[in-house]
Structure formats: structure tokens, C-alpha cells
Chain A
């Protein structure tokens, strides 16, 4: 449900940037969404399409770059794919970890006319 708020913030940020560039149409926006960010991609796309109407982003393409999460084990220092926060290290079974990526929620760039 919070995808609505995130979509609104995304549109506001893109509109601000567009105005600063003196352009009146945003053709596409590219975002990084990590697999552990808690954002449901379908919901984000749905909310984005609904909220871009009558904005500088009307008809804009939302390009989502999904980032698979990776962690480094605090015990044996190996890096591994993290499907869930609860996953323990597949090499030594330790739970303590540093999440290296997969929590992104980032507006990277946009294409303007």
C-alpha cells in the first residue's frame, strides 16, 4: 500500500528535476528497486500509471532495474545471495550478515524531451 506514497514521491522528484531543466515532458524514468526493499513492483507500476496523469510524466515509461540482494557473512566473510533476511550463510551457517545490496529504492535517471 505504501507504493502509492513512493510513486507520488517519485513523480514529484522527477517533475522538480524536469522544471529545473526547463523541459515540459518526461519520457521515461529509471529506478533501482532492491529485492529486499519491501516494494511490490506491480503495485508500484499501477500507482505510477495512475498518478502520472496530468503531470509532466503523463504517458511516461517506468523502467525498473531489479537488484538481487547479496550479503557478506560476518563470520566467514563469504558473499552470498540473500533471498530472505532470515537466510543464514550457506558456507558456515552463521546468521550475522551485512547486506551489500538489495535494499535500493533509487531514482537513477530520466529521459526528457
Chain B
């Protein structure tokens, strides 16, 4: 029956008044956010600390993960999801350390989303996992918008990239809980104003936790490890804030 005039059977005629407005009021990322909430509940049930690791390509994310899972492997059981457009190079590197790793290839996609992560973790034995590291696609823009169900977002910025990255890509630094300024051993050789970088980043996110690290000469790595262990302890004891 025509809902406007009540004529029946269903009319072929048009009513101008047939146009109607439907209220929706939903976030455009609603579907991703719902799947992220499911992931988060599942990870919490299993007492897993989940880190979403973000950066531009080439900042040293994979090396940081290799070092972390190797040095802390005796204390925490890691699993690593690797996101790249193509190849399984990164997952192969992590698997070579003996840590469970799975590669997600996004094809032309510029970020991981909650759906990919939900299926990605099917490759792990979650009850045997303490910390899940999700290494996102190298990109300082798009991954900032997509919740994966993580506890914390950690962004890696290397000193070879430029100290003004927080100003140029503010969404990413705004969304991050932790900033790891990497390749700090190269500081004498590059023009990178560490104080300015910190000031820019803290201007965007005042409570950002910042580490200055080098995976090459191990500067600052112990501070990062201790923080990660504390964050895991707080997660399993039910304390909400780790940063």
C-alpha cells in the first residue's frame, strides 16, 4: 500500500511528498568501532595487552618488534600481527625469532581495520599470549582513524624523518598514547631538533609518554621494556590506564 495516500494496490504514480527524511545519527566508522569493541572484549577476557604500533614506512617498527620480542621473550609471551600492502617479509622476520607471527596483506589498503585484526588473531593461541603487537601499515595518516581494539597506540618516529612530523600529521600524534623516538644513535649525524619534536608532540597530546630509543646501540630500550611490563601487569590486574 502507498504509505502517502493509502492507495492500493502499490501505485505506479509519484508523490512529491513521498520524499522523506530518515534520521540516522551514526558515526561513519560505526561498523569498525563495533568490531573493535568485540576484539577489545575478547583480548580483555584473555588478559592480553594489545599495542597498535604505528609509523611512516622505514621508521624501524619491525626492528623494534624483533628486539622487543627477543629481549622480553623469557618474561612475556608475545604474538605479532604484521600489516603490509604486500609480502610476508615482516612476519617472516618475527617468526624467525620464534614468536608466533601472522602477516595481513591489505593489497591496496592503507590501514588495518578491526575486521582484519579479528580474523588475524585466529592464527594465534590467545590463551597462551600475554602481549599482542599489531604492526600497522606504514602510514602516518589513515591508521589513526581506525580502532583495532587495542589498549594503546604507540607511534614510532625516527630521527631521520624530521622533527616536525607531529605538526604535519597531528591526527596520529593526537591518537597516540606513546611516542618512541627511534634511531637516536644517529642524532649527531642528522638535523633533528629533539626538544622541538618533543614540544610539538606534547603540544598536540600533553599526556603523551615519550621514549628516546635506539634498537642499534640499545639506548633507552630498558625504559621501554619496563614500561611494557608495567603496562601488561596493569592490564592483567584490571587497572585501566597504562600510559
Contact = CB atoms under 8 A, between A and B. Distances in A.
A113 interface: yes
Interface residues of A, number: 32
B10 to A, nearest CB: 11
Nearest to B207: A96
Contacts of A107: 24-28
Interface in A1-31: 1-2, 5-6, 9-10, 12-14, 17-18, 21, 27, 31
Contacts of B167: 84, 86
Interface stretch (B15-23, B46-54, B93-101, B125-133): B15-23
A94 to B, nearest CB: 9
Interface in B8-48: 18-32
A13 B113 CA distance: 17
Contacts of A88: 203
A2 B19 contact: no
Nearest to A18: B22
A101 interface: no
B27 A105 contact: yes
Residue of B24, B27, B142, B202 with highest tally of chain A CB at under 10 A: B24
Contacts of A2: 110-111, 141-142, 145-146
Contacts of A31: 28
Contacts of B203: 85-86, 88, 95
Contacts of A112: 19-22
B26 A1 contact: no
Contacts, number: 96
B229 interface: no
Interface residues of B, number: 37
B198 interface: no
B206 A95 contact: yes
Interface string A98-113: 0000000111111111
Contact of B171 (A14, A21, A36, A109): A36
B28 A1 contact: no
Contacts of B173: 85
A18 B174 CA distance: 35
A40 to B, nearest CB: 10
A59 interface: no
A39 to B, nearest CB: 8
A90 interface: no
Nearest to B15: A113
A10 B23 contact: no
Given A12-B31, A95-B206, A96-B206, A5 B19 contact: no
13 contacts: A5-B109, A9-B31, A13-B31, A21-B22, A36-B171, A37-B145, A38-B171, A84-B167, A85-B203, A86-B166, A95-B202, A112-B22, A113-B19
Given A2-B111, A13-B30, A17-B24, 12 more contacts: A6-B29, A13-B31, A27-B19, A36-B171, A38-B145, A38-B171, A85-B173, A88-B203, A105-B27, A112-B20, A112-B22, A113-B18
Interface of A: 1-2, 5-6, 9-10, 12-14, 17-18, 21, 27, 31, 36-38, 84-86, 88, 95-96, 105-113
In the A-B complex, the 4 residue pairs with the closest CB atoms:
A2-B142, A85-B170, A1-B110, A38-B171
